[in-house]
């Protein structure tokens, strides 16, 4: 990965897979479980700090980001990141120029009786 290129990982539109981009090579890993109901992928676009929240009753299962700045020009812009903010939300920082889309993978965990 060269300076300014971004490592991105985000859910597919149908929420059943992952897309990973890193411009040279990548290991893309998806966590799967059969005891999740009300599965949803929520997203929010913004500039700077972006928060995305799950629907009521759902919990965060994962977070990710897509940044729209092809060349990070400042040290601050090179700090693209995401994290779980609370039990039901994710927080992302894309950059102060072109923004980013923050994703929250959400659902409700239930007990599986086999």
Cα dihedral sign, 16-56-102-91: negative
Q: Kindly list the structural domains of the chain, giving each domain's residue range(s) and its CATH number in brackets, ordered by start.
A: 8-109 (2.60.40.4230)
pLDDT at 1 over 60: no
pLDDT at 61 over 60: yes
Of 40, 37, 41, the C-alpha closest to 101 is 41
pLDDT at 97 over 90: no
DSSP-assigned states of every residue in 89-103: EEEEE--SSS-EEEE
More confident residue, 62 or 42: 42
Structural element, H or E, at residue 48: none
User: Two tokens at 55?
Assistant: 């629907």
Rounded mean pLDDT of 91-113?
82
* 3-state secondary structure (DSSP) of residue 88: coil
pLDDT at 50 over 50: yes
CA distance 102 to 41: 10
Structural element, H or E, at residue 32: none
Rounded mean pLDDT of 50-60?
94
pTM (2 d.p.): 0.70
What average pLDDT does the chain have?
76
- Token match 């120029």: residue? 97
**Sorting pLDDT into bands at 50, 70 and 90, what band is 86?**
very high
């Amino acid at each position: 990965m060269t300076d300014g290129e971004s490592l991105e990982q985000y859910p597919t539109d149908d929420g059943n897979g992952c897309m990973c981009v890193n411009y040279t090579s990548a290991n893309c890993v998806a966590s799967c479980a059969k005891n999740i109901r009300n599965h949803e992928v929520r997203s929010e676009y913004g500039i700077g700090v972006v928060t995305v929240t799950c629907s009521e009753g759902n919990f965060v299962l994962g977070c990710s980001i897509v940044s729209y700045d092809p060349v990070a020009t400042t040290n601050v812009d090179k700090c693209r990141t995401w994290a779980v903010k609370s039990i039901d939300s994710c927080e992302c920082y894309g950059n102060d120029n072109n923004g980013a889309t923050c994703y929250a993978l959400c659902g409700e965990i239930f007990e599986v009786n086999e």
